[in-house]
Structure 1
């Protein structure tokens, strides 16, 4: 996967500040603050950091971290990369505003196979509702008295309406749903990691179970086009950051030259510079060797060296 994304680009929006807010239904949502300012960036330019951060957030639950710590980590993730774009990740198409209803494949969160567009929008706008009029396949969306939001829509006018709506300051995503997405990424990575690390220790039934679990991973495939910029460039049309993470993670997971590993000392996910690497940094390697040496001395002398 050498330089896989060297000549690729894709735009996403992140805000300078996010906050957790509780809706009337008692659920917790992450949303940009009233004064937060949007900026546009290319997730593919920092794809390794995004994927590793997603994996490490998903593993927080297994490390017995409190919900407050998990929420803080997700909030920091959003400041760095934006919200996941779940509103356009779940339906069969990001262009659902062009249809009479929203159609949904099987997912963790919504049991219905279809639902009205307005009911679906309400799931992601629990506080301030967008000014949307929907009549059959026709939609009209008004943005009033907010020049920043109007400028953002004009800048991202090549995106479907629903994607643009997910960039607005009023858009919010459920903590429960966001956390589950990170857990899914982490679970998929750990399953793959352990499958090869413990292959000889597993029964055929255990191997089959892990293989079947891996087959369930995936999402709606992104589209792409070629742009003649300073050089021929693949432009990915991600309709959600979540879809982008899934694609970037898939390429990284299958990269045999620079695989994703768990550091033997700090247990954080990292991209190995070579297939045999087991530490994320020289510091972790040194600390591990020190602890290992102290353990040997303790076993030998009955006490740990000072």
Structure 2
């Protein structure tokens, strides 16, 4: 089953802000919107495969402690918003309106950004916890791809995954519409719920649509069983490099024979 079929009746309205920053508040790092950011409401379940791939690639940067891991997390937030974990099940409309006044109170009181309205400009998530959610998904992906061979490492990653992912798809409620043709509408609690559900669907798909690019190493989504590259560019680069390597090997072999 493709992810689009799984998300047909998912009512997943979310809000992202136009820009984010990593800032320290009371000795704790938070990822949060910048003060001049603008709100952008959108349907976060419209392209679930892109959501999963971007989360996996952010997790890869964090996993390998890449120099640009902060930028990868900020890029994810700019594209999708914060994950919304640990917030109350309140509608986006109630949380969003009046955010400006709340910003000033939060700034003056010096309170933790985590306890502000999830769609307010003053809301922020502890950066370590934010990163841990991506790491858990990426660890599961590595294990599913057979890239973790050490039993000790598998056990360590399994425990990390259980702590940061396998507590279930909490807050996924539903609504049955009234009328001649009733519909079942799924209503997620936050972006993290959508991400977890999308990854779970892709990870258990018999078609194995989640893959690692043979050239760049990034995760990508493709239902083509013969696919090996995330893009035509990567395929072309791989073929050129393979041709050059074979040509060099042939030349070296010729020189040795002489």
Whether TM exceeds 0.5 here: the answer is: yes
Alignment of 1:11 onto 2:13: yes
Q: Which residue matches 2:129?
A: 177
Q: CA deviation at 1:61?
A: 3.5
In structure 2, relative to structure 1, the CA distance for the partners of 1:75 and 1:297 (3 Å cut) is: same
Q: Distance in 1 between matches of 2:243 and 2:7?
A: 42
Q: CA deviation at 1:62?
A: 4.4
Q: Distance in 2 between matches of 1:62 and 1:145?
A: 34
**2:139/2:157 contact within 8 Å kept:** no
Unaligned runs of 5+ in 2: 104-113, 254-258
Q: How many residues get paired?
A: 231
Q: Which residue matches 1:22?
A: 24
**2:173/2:189 contact within 8 Å kept:** no
Q: Distance in 2 between matches of 1:145 and 1:61?
A: 31
Q: Distance in 1 between matches of 2:57 and 2:43?
A: 21
**1:263/1:280 contact within 8 Å kept:** yes
**1:30/1:173 contact within 8 Å kept:** yes
Alignment of 1:264 onto 2:214: yes
Alignment of 1:219 onto 2:167: yes
**1:71/1:175 contact within 8 Å kept:** no
Q: Distance in 2 between matches of 1:258 and 1:288?
A: 22
In structure 2, relative to structure 1, the CA distance for the partners of 1:35 and 1:190 (3 Å cut) is: same
Q: Which residue matches 1:193?
A: 145
In structure 2, relative to structure 1, the CA distance for the partners of 1:178 and 1:146 (3 Å cut) is: closer
Alignment of 1:284 onto 2:234: yes
**1:85/1:163 contact within 8 Å kept:** no
SS in 1 for 2:207: coil
**2:85/2:192 contact within 8 Å kept:** yes
Q: CA deviation at 1:86?
A: 2.1
Q: Which residue matches 1:118?
A: none
Q: Deviations over 1:167-190 (max 9, x none)?
A: 122111111111111111111111
TM-score (norm 1): 0.65
Q: CA deviation at 1:35?
A: 2.3
In structure 2, relative to structure 1, the CA distance for the partners of 1:145 and 1:13 (3 Å cut) is: closer
Question: 1:121-270 residue pairs with structure 2 within 5 A?
Answer: 146=100, 165-194=117-146, 216=162, 217-221=165-169, 222-227=172-177, 233-257=183-207, 259-270=209-220
Q: Distance in 2 between matches of 1:37 and 1:10?
A: 20
**1:163/1:239 contact within 8 Å kept:** no
Instruction: State the Cα RMSD in Å.
Output: 3.5
Q: Distance in 2 between matches of 1:283 and 1:7?
A: 35
Q: Deviations over 1:123-164 (max 9, x none)?
A: xxxxxxxxxxxxxxxxxx9x8694799xxxxxxxxxxxx999
TM-score (norm 2): 0.76
Q: Distance in 2 between matches of 1:53 and 1:145?
A: 28
Q: Distance in 1 between matches of 2:29 and 2:161?
A: 31
Q: Deviations over 1:202-230 (max 9, x none)?
A: 69x68x9599669834234322223469x
In structure 2, relative to structure 1, the CA distance for the partners of 1:227 and 1:84 (3 Å cut) is: same
